[in-house]
Amino acid sequence: MIAYTINVGGRLLSLQRPLVMGILNLTPDSFYSGSRMLSDTAFSATDAERIRQRTRQILDEGGTIIDVGACSTRPGSEEVSQDEEIRRLAAGLDVVRREAPDAIISVDTFRADVARMCVRDFGVQIINDIAGGEMDRAMFRTIGRLGVPYILMHMQGKPRDMQTSPHYDCVTADVMTYLSRRGQQLRDNGVNDIIADPGFGFGKTLEHNYEMLQHLECFQELGMPLLVGVSRKSMIYRMLGGTPAEALNGTTAINVIALMKGAHILRVHDVREAVEAVKIVEACRQPESLRA
């Protein structure tokens, strides 16, 4: 596996050993109810305590990056307004920063103005964009000016309609071509640290997801670190039966496959289990490191 490093707030973060990114949702409506940190009412002391505890949990369980999102992008979801997204993020990031001032924080947003606010006001070090810059044409230029790493994800369509009728000639080749082209556009805008995310579950059928997983090692050819986010998604529970709440075992199975095929970052709800998966895969790669 290529030993990438990315610049996070002026310090180099090594991806030689895979890292775990823990999800912190500042939403009342994310697809996995166990990840929701906000109630449907105004931001409260109870919400703040949930966010504080989740921040602590991610770090205590071995997570390296906290990925904070304030706009649900589950299939069929409608966008919240920019003002509401900023309100949620400002309240939540204030709690996260007070609890863990030195933590590496990624913000999940497709809006350039939101990304700018998060980096400027809260020292956010990474921007995670599900839309690959397609939903805000100012995003690539903004990221170049901010000088932060950018997670470039592939999505066909938009969250509200992406699962209606996704079609590819060859899903792996088509997604790789997209990521390669958009990656070059990012570099043209001065973005140096780009992380590729194939976008499991975003505008892809069950068959598309597993075909892409089968050929995941091909994404190494992009020359970018690879992030995989399958945590509790429908590609797991639709095949096995059950609900997102029952999809942890399947998530771990796919995370191990992804690690064996070269994933550098796992984006997950369940941090401890993902960290354990990383440890086991790394021990398999380097058994000599286990010698007493």
Site of tokens 């490093």: 5
CA-closest candidate to residue 71, choices 115, 110, 127, 126: 110
Of 50, 111, 204, 267, the catalytic one is 267
Of 204, 233, 261, 272, the catalytic one is 233
Distance in angstroms (rounded) separating the CA atoms of residues 209 and 203: 10
Q: Is 267 a catalytic residue?
A: yes
Distance in angstroms (rounded) separating the CA atoms of residues 277 and 20: 10
Distance in angstroms (rounded) separating the CA atoms of residues 169 and 217: 19
For 107, residues 6+ apart whose C-beta sits below 8 A from its C-beta are 67, 68, 69, 89, 93, 114, 115, 118, 124, 126, 127, 128
For 20, residues 6+ apart whose C-beta sits below 8 A from its C-beta are 62, 63, 64, 65, 265, 266, 268, 271, 274, 275, 278
Number of continuous H segments (helices) and E segments (strands) in the chain: 9, 10
Q: How far is CA 255 from CA 21, 123, 198, 251, in A?
A: 12, 29, 14, 6
CA-closest candidate to residue 265, choices 163, 177, 194: 194
Q: In 104-189, where do the E strands start and end?
A: 104-108, 126-129, 150-153
Distance in angstroms (rounded) separating the CA atoms of residues 78 and 105: 25
Q: What residues are annotated to the active site?
A: 233, 267
